[in-house]
């Protein structure tokens, strides 16, 4: 019997194994989201082992997010049509196989291609998780499930840095960076077996048709936007990047027009644009996008500050990031279960303000401590920032999903995840422009901070005054060129000569590290000020929600009419 034609009396009651199934999809979803950041700390190892150019390294990172974002909405709709369990298993299988291909890649091209497939498979799987939560749990359990999902999934970016750093440092079986992908294989196999046994299938009872044209337009719009954002800074923003972004806007407009036409005629549009007639859904989704623009930028400059600025090892940077994950878990756990039912939209506004406060504390401490910034000193700003993050993410997901009927659960969760991924991509691109522009502009700050000490140490080597001034002039040029470099792994020509003296080389090496740390610390502080501004906009967006908007609006529709379990 076909699931979408089954009579109402074949619908099962609440699944007694729903929490076990939830644990399975949660673990799998966490693994997928982990792979967004886990590669970042392994970049030097990958570059050295595969002899990759820096542009190829950027694509190894970007390929996953690009294909992930491009497939998300489509993946959600496919789950509505063909069954969420079926799409989850398909995505999990493809993700596991793609992870194996990444782990055994012998050259950059194979690794980039495998990352594209890995991200696309994640795009098929991840939307099913929120949809499964939406249609499986009753109202009183759904908020708890979303809080757990938000806390664990929201922490994945930070945990990805930690796990990646540890795996690279441990160099398991002398495999270098490869275990960051190979570790997905046993987890994926276990998840496939468990999901096959304990997960029920579900789909939209209204049997929507596949919207091929809508899928092509949606994917085209995402790719046309994401590609120039990924390549733009390295290419110095040539005209074609802006042409592609303009074409992306045109493709998106065409998508909207086509979806409205299809809804009036054929039916079953990829996205039911009537969803946006709900003011809470529209405002919430817009604020959600802004929030992830801010967080995407934060994750970028935070990683750069710890590794490229302070010179920390991948393991030290990764372990320090655990405190963000702790804060995210605290925020997500308390916001939905304790704060949201009592204070409503004020919780979302408070979460944005707490995140902004964390940014402010972190930036001030970075500028104050500079190169002396210790891991333990980062505990406070990371916990505050992570707590604000968790307070926003969990109730916002809860509120947005609460505005939609069960039959649109897959498409809406795909839209929600797409907003997150596009927000992160926009954040990386926009904040990258601000960060690297300021780093270049402010490169003299670090040189000025170390000049007096460097001159004293050069004098101690017995160099005459004119020779000292020449070395200091070359040193200033070296710091400036490093700050302006597109490829941070490249050594500018101005940094290659030290006069052949070991003592001078040692002095300049130490001075360069100190100047670099000073520059990165102040640029980190400067860029976080923009992040604070974004969080204020997020707060204003949440303030615009209707006063009667409740963050827990899940009303269990009659499952006999909305959902068929198979």
Mean pLDDT score across all residues of the chain: 82
Long-range contacts (CB closer than 8 Å, 24 or more residues apart) made by 480-487: 480/440, 480/443, 480/444, 480/447, 482/443, 482/512, 482/516, 483/439, 483/440, 483/442, 483/443, 483/519, 484/440, 484/443, 486/54, 486/233, 486/234, 486/236, 487/54, 487/234
Beta bridge partners of 199: none
Secondary structure class of 203 (helix, strand, coil): strand
pLDDT of 16 > 80? The answer is: no
- Residue 9's pLDDT is 30
pLDDT of 553 > 70? The answer is: no
Q: Considering only residues 522 and 314, tell me which one the structure prediction assigns the higher pLDDT.
A: 522
Average pLDDT of the residues in 473-479? 86
The rounded distance, in Å, linking the Cα atoms of 272 and 290 is 22
Can you state the angle between helices 443-460 and 502-543, rounded to 10 degrees? 160
- Residue 267's pLDDT is 82
Return the sign of the alpha-carbon dihedral for residues 170, 173, 176, 177.
Answer: negative
Per-residue pLDDT tens over the stretch 62-94: 788 778 877 887 887 788 888 888 999 999 999
Q: Considering only residues 282 and 253, tell me which one the structure prediction assigns the higher pLDDT.
A: 253
- Residue 7's pLDDT is 34
- Residue 10's pLDDT is 31
Cβ-based neighbours of 122, under 8 Å, separated by 6 or more: 32, 33, 35, 64, 68, 91, 95
The rounded distance, in Å, linking the Cα atoms of 486 and 488 is 6
Find the farthest-apart pair of alpha carbons in the chain and give their distance in angstroms, rounded.
Answer: 95
Secondary structure class of 558 (helix, strand, coil): coil
The rounded distance, in Å, linking the Cα atoms of 48 and 63 is 20
pLDDT confidence of 331, banded at 50, 70, 90?
A: confident
Average pLDDT of the residues in 317-332? 85
Task: Give which of 60, 66, 63, 61 is closest to 107, Cα–Cα.
Answer: 60
- Residue 363's pLDDT is 96
Per-residue pLDDT tens over the stretch 111-158: 999 999 999 999 898 888 877 887 778 877 877 787 777 667 666 766
Q: Considering only residues 165 and 92, tell me which one the structure prediction assigns the higher pLDDT.
A: 92
Assess contact for 226 and 63: CB atoms under 8 A: no
Per-residue pLDDT tens over the stretch 183-203: 899 989 998 999 898 888 887
Per-residue pLDDT tens over the stretch 363-390: 999 999 988 999 999 999 999 999 999 8
Average pLDDT of the residues in 451-480? 85
Q: Give exposure, 101-121, as e/b (b: 16+ Cβ within 10 Å).
A: bbbebeebeebbbbbbbbbbb
């Amino acid at each position: 019997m076909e699931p979408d034609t089954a009579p109402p009396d074949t619908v099962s009651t609440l699944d007694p194994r729903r929490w076990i199934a939830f644990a399975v999809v949660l673990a799998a979803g966490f693994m997928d989201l982990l792979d967004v950041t886990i590669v970042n700390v392994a970049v030097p190892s990958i570059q050295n082992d595969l002899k990759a150019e820096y542009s190829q390294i950027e694509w190894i990172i970007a390929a996953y997010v690009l294909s992930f974002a491009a497939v998300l909405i489509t993946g959600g709709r496919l789950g509505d049509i063909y069954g969420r369990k079926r799409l989850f298993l398909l995505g999990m299988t493809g993700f596991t196989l793609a992870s194996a291909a990444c782990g055994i890649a012998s050259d950059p091209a194979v690794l980039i291609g495998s990352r594209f497939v890995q991200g696309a498979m994640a795009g098929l799987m991840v939307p099913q998780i929120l949809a499964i939560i939406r249609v499986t749990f009753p109202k009183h359990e759904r908020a708890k499930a979303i809080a757990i999902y938000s806390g664990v999934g929201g922490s994945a970016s930070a945990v990805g840095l930690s796990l990646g750093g540890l795996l690279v440092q441990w160099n398991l079986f002398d495999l270098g960076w490869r275990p960051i992908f190979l570790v997905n294989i046993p987890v994926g196999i276990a998840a496939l077996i468990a999901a096959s046994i304990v997960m029920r299938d579900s789909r939209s009872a209204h049997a929507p048709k596949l919207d091929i044209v809508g899928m092509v337009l949606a994917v085209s719009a995402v790719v046309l936007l994401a590609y120039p954002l990924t390549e733009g800074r390295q290419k110095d923003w040539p005209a074609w990047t802006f042409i592609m972004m303009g074409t992306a806007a045109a493709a998106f407009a065409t998508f909207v027009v086509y979806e409205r036409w299809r809804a009036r005629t054929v039916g079953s549009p990829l996205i039911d644009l009537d969803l946006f007639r709900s003011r809470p859904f529209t405002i919430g989704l817009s604020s959600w996008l802004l929030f992830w623009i801010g967080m995407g930028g934060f994750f970028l400059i935070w990683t750069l500050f710890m590794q490229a600025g302070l010179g920390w090892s991948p393991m030290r940077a990764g372990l320090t990031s655990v405190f963000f994950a702790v804060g995210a878990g605290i925020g997500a756990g308390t916001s939905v279960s304790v704060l949201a039912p009592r204070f409503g939209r004020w919780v979302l506004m408070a979460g944005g303000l707490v995140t902004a406060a964390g940014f402010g504390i972190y930036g001030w401490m970075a500028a104050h401590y500079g190169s002396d910034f210790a891991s333990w000193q980062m505990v406070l700003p990371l916990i505050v920032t992570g707590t604000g993050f968790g307070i926003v993410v969990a109730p916002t997901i809860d509120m947005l999903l609460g505005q939609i009927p069960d039959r649109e659960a897959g498409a809406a969760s795909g839209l929600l995840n797409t907003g997150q991924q596009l927000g992160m991509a926009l954040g990386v691109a926009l904040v990258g422009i601000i960060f690297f522009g300021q780093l270049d502009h402010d490169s003299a700050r670090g040189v000025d901070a170390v000049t007096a000490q460097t001159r004293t140490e050069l004098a101690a080597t017995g160099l005459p005054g004119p020779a000292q001034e020449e070395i200091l002039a070359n040193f200033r040029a070296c710091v400036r060129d490093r700050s302006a470099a597109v490829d941070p792994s490249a050594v500018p020509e101005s940094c290659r000569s030290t006069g052949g003296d070991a003592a001078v080389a040692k002095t300049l090496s130490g001075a360069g590290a100190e100047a670099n740390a000073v520059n990165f610390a102040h640029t980190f502080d400067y860029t976080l000020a923009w992040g604070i501004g974004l969080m204020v906009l997020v707060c204003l967006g949440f303030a615009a929600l209707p006063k009667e908007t409740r963050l827990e609006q899940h009303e269990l529709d009659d499952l006999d009419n909305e959902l068929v379990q198979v």
